[in-house]
Chain A
């Protein structure tokens, strides 16, 4: 099992304007000013759940992702690239969490991770992560923070966050797993033998199946390390990030959750006829 060691995020230094921006939001004498990328509905539902937005938080990392040599005809994980892509995301996440900690937040909602390529930098990938930090209005931070004592993180929208709490769960952390995989080039003989044939290509099935499983296994492992009971909203993305078309990254991301004591029964869903077309 090729897993990572448990996460140990190091404190990351923040750029000067991030520090300024956060100081301005904390304001003098508890006078807070918040920014958030919440839509109006998200804003109202997050407040309804007993939280206030603390501020838009961000982290980024520009990473040089080189190439890893590999035999043309091999189906194999490119572990060096897997680790590079993972580490870059970790750096960006750690910086975002650092901003949230500076705001005194209890959690981050609506976290989005993006990978960008810029025309000015060959082999450079920019990892940007954005979300809105929130704090509990009643000041009971301990009830909401992750078992590690850090603010919770989650890629759920404000609406999903409200519904998750209503159904008796709370978010713990954004969990992720990835796997960069090299898909073998076929030899000419193999190619000829399959022309005009309709059949499964077991070597490809196996390879891609395996790669996805690896990404999901790592995601699951992270959730276990964080002491969570399960993962909701897991998604698997696949992208080539401008590499050779035989190299694919599978990236799994989701929110790990823990059950909590419910004070009232979950609401009964109402049937509504929408007049939207």
Chain B
């Protein structure tokens, strides 16, 4: 059966080397209207409703992708990417990746605790390296915190002109917001049965909102050690010099 995938040649080679075959490029998406939440002008606070909405929208896109992959009989999805595009008042959230199936028929061992395909944002090359290293991906975990940064009053602004000093209220607020996004990602990964997360990225964006509102997103792939004793673990790394232009 023909397959479609966005894997490059070396990724394809290594995914097959790891004992998997690509099935199809799978996608999930959702259009969401992000409304507005009132935030007190001079307060540093999380905008909880918008945070929840952003989490929910990405989760929906990922769930649809996973449902599609499960329908195809996939055991996992590699190279998953999350994207968002604004068009007018609506925002489209998409998840896209390549569904793969275990060739040796023991695919059930690779699925998550609900029997659904695993997900990860690893390239085919990284997926192979992880598996050879004795670990397998469980799920792409993410955490979100949308934060409103206080506007300063004119008095506060005047008092700091010319001064070189830390602004503890701002430091604390944004520091905490990032930590919150990471904590939520961590909780999601722990719920999915992962024992750790690799490749965490903490991104921030304003998505065209008012400049005082910032979204922090933490994304990473939850992993677990492969329990199977017959699993072949990689050889010791060697120092190599690449002959490359």
Contact = CB atoms under 8 A, between A and B. Distances in A.
Interface of A: 15-18, 20-21, 24-25, 32-41, 43-45, 47-48, 53, 56, 58-67, 80-81, 83-84, 87-88, 91, 95, 118-121, 123-124, 126, 128, 130, 162-163, 166, 266-276
Contacts of B239: 163, 166, 266-270
Nearest to A67: B162
A56 B201 CA distance: 10
Contacts, number: 173
Interface string B160-180: 111111110011101110111
B47 interface: no
Contact of B220 (A21, A35, A162): A35
Nearest to B182: A21
Contact of A43 (B162, B198, B234): B198
Contacts of A128: 178
Q: 4 closest A-B pairs (Cβ-Cβ)? A: A84-B164, A17-B179, A62-B170, A34-B196
A62 B171 contact: yes
Contacts of B229: none
Interface of B: 10, 122, 126-127, 129-130, 133, 149, 151-152, 160-167, 170-172, 174-176, 178-180, 182-183, 185-187, 189-190, 194-202, 206, 211-212, 214, 220, 234, 236-244
Nearest to A64: B160
A130 B166 CA distance: 19
Contact of B186 (A25, A39, A65, A130): A25
Contacts of A269: 239-241
Contacts of A60: 171, 174-175, 178
Contacts of B202: 58, 130
Given A24-B190, A35-B220, A271-B243, A40 B175 contact: no
Contacts of A41: 126, 129
Contacts of A16: 176
Contacts of B197: 34-36, 56
A272 B239 CA distance: 10
A164 B211 CA distance: 43
Contact of A124 (B10, B130, B170, B201): B170
B198 A276 contact: no
A18 B170 CA distance: 16
18 contacts: A15-B176, A17-B176, A17-B179, A20-B179, A21-B182, A24-B186, A36-B196, A40-B122, A41-B129, A44-B234, A48-B237, A56-B197, A56-B200, A60-B171, A62-B167, A91-B171, A126-B174, A267-B238
B240 A270 contact: yes
A15 B133 contact: no
Indicate the member of B122, B174, B195, B211 with the most A CB atoms within 10 Å. Answer: B174
Contacts of B244: 274, 276
Given A37-B200, A44-B133, A274 B242 contact: yes
A88 B149 CA distance: 20
Given A40-B126, A64-B163, A272-B241, A33 B200 contact: no
A272 B243 contact: yes
Contact of A35 (B130, B167, B200): B200
Contact of B167 (A67, A124, A163): A124
A35 B185 contact: yes
Indicate the member of A40, A58, A88 with the most B CB atoms within 10 Å. Answer: A40
